[in-house]
Structure 1
């Protein structure tokens, strides 16, 4: 029987298992850290194919060779870590995650507004994107806006403010985003990875159609049957038309993951923690 005690690795708590949080968790896991992800139920995740949050729906979910497993207790999370998996907890307040004694927390919820009092002072705290001030409510902020500074570690001050405009993918911005036409339940007629044409009806919400503004592949889509509100984002289309991009971590998420790893190693040294060693993997 496997030893279910925590591995001798620095434990990192990632709040939010969407595509960006998964990019972070995946990179930290590959670097030898013990990562636990917390989510809400149901998670409002668009790019489900590359999101550990999808384990909430499926029980377990694999992204690029790393498996996330839905767990309900700290003991189950310890077993998942010992097996080399990433435990996912429906634990918005982090009560169970805290039982694993994390040395660092990464807020990847992408709320884009102040999340209130953080965990700074109790553990290393890193925030993604706008809504955080390094040196005030977190120890470091990682830039999430596409462009020259994407993935940059900020140790004083904030990331670029939320522009409210979706970043361009393949030269297309707002038109690639699918939004709910009404309050109600989402009923999907396509799946992530499907090729679609401009003008095609992809889903309905309360009987009202969700129509593609551009041609491409469906890169992200809320889980079928989820409740949504008028104007909220429910999916996106990739105009580049490369299906493989729907099922692999994006360049943006990888850059942000690299920034978090850099910040974590820097802050860990400052705090006197020992950086993870390759020999500790799987212990």
Structure 2
């Protein structure tokens, strides 16, 4: 009989359930927090095998041993936590905030701007990446830029500004990331985990009039690719080629996502909020 890891700690609401948000949710769920994540009705996820938000499409999804379930009612979250599952709510505007009353809110949308998170949403608030100012928008900002300061807790000021250049992986930066040349419906021609070479076609975008092919810009494993039949705008990220060539990286949480999860956990511990919470209870 499989042992269920129940989530019984304080409630943490995470805005977003994409790759980096899922790394945060995974770490906090492992630590016993009652994690709930919110998403859009049709989230765009490149590395969807490691995104809890994929439960929006599949009903249930699992990332490295932690299951998630798509729910319509925030009042059903407690049953999910008792079953060891992370609830995923379609709630980009946080209408469920008052019903959930989380102790902690983490904005992990990574929109490079603040899409509405405020300090009064919870006793402790975090903002991941640029677009937040610690002490004004949120209590703590976490650096998301790869490099020496990745995961650094910022209590005054903001994270590094968006460079527009993808972080280096396997010696590649911009050439490893694929963007849509126009708006339309994306049709995948390859699958996550496939090895591709430079100029291989990985998909096409059909706008109803004509199709535009999307080609790999370097050799490597296709680590991420939008789900086929996804409607997208122009210049949207649609794929990620990993030049390191490790197929197992496609279905495991990245070092960056784990680092951000650890940073949030450290920020919670440093705040002392758990001691105050349990003392009150």
Give yes or no for TM over 0.5. Answer: yes
TM-score, with structure 2 as normaliser: 0.92
For 2:46 and 2:197, locate their aligned partners in 1 and report how far apart those are by CA, in whole Å.
20
For 1:85 and 1:70, locate their aligned partners in 2 and report how far apart those are by CA, in whole Å.
10
Of 258, 264, 276, the residue aligned with 1:272 is 276
- Between 1:242-251 and 1:69-78, the stretch displaced more is 69-78
Q: How does 1:156-167 map to 2 (within 5 A)?
A: 156-167=156-167
For 1:70 and 1:116, locate their aligned partners in 2 and report how far apart those are by CA, in whole Å.
23
Q: How does 1:64-75 map to 2 (within 5 A)?
A: 64-75=64-75
Q: Deviations over 1:80-128 (max 9, x none)?
A: 1111110101111112244122111000000112334514364311000
For 2:273 and 2:66, locate their aligned partners in 1 and report how far apart those are by CA, in whole Å.
27
Q: How does 1:1-283 map to 2 (within 5 A)?
A: 8-116=8-116, 118-120=118-120, 122-206=122-206, 207-269=211-273, 272-274=276-278
Moved over 6 A (4+): none
SS at match of 1:186: strand
C-alpha deviation, 1:147, in angstroms? 0.6
C-alpha deviation, 1:132, in angstroms? 0.5
Return closer, same or farther for 1:185/1:24 CA change in 2, 3 Å cut-off: same
Q: Deviations over 1:27-48 (max 9, x none)?
A: 0000111100000010011110
For 1:97 and 1:121, locate their aligned partners in 2 and report how far apart those are by CA, in whole Å.
8
For 1:129 and 1:257, locate their aligned partners in 2 and report how far apart those are by CA, in whole Å.
13
Is the CA contact (8 Å cut-off) linking 1:12 and 1:36 kept in structure 2?
A: yes
SS at match of 2:89: strand
For 1:209 and 1:171, locate their aligned partners in 2 and report how far apart those are by CA, in whole Å.
25
For 1:21 and 1:149, locate their aligned partners in 2 and report how far apart those are by CA, in whole Å.
18
For 1:117 and 1:151, locate their aligned partners in 2 and report how far apart those are by CA, in whole Å.
20
Structure 1 residue ranges without an equivalent (≥5): 1-5, 276-283
Is the CA contact (8 Å cut-off) linking 2:7 and 2:32 kept in structure 1?
A: no
Is the CA contact (8 Å cut-off) linking 1:268 and 1:274 kept in structure 2?
A: no
C-alpha deviation, 1:191, in angstroms? 1.3
Aligned to 2:3: none
C-alpha deviation, 1:77, in angstroms? 1.6
Aligned to 1:278: none
C-alpha deviation, 1:76, in angstroms? 2.2
For 2:11 and 2:272, locate their aligned partners in 1 and report how far apart those are by CA, in whole Å.
12
Aligned length in residues: 270
Structure 2 residue ranges without an equivalent (≥5): 1-5
For 1:200 and 1:7, locate their aligned partners in 2 and report how far apart those are by CA, in whole Å.
44
More relative contact order, 1 or 2 (CA 8 Å, 6+ apart): 1
TM-score, with structure 1 as normaliser: 0.91
C-alpha deviation, 1:7, in angstroms? 6.1
Tell me how large the CA RMSD over aligned residues is.
Answer: 1.7
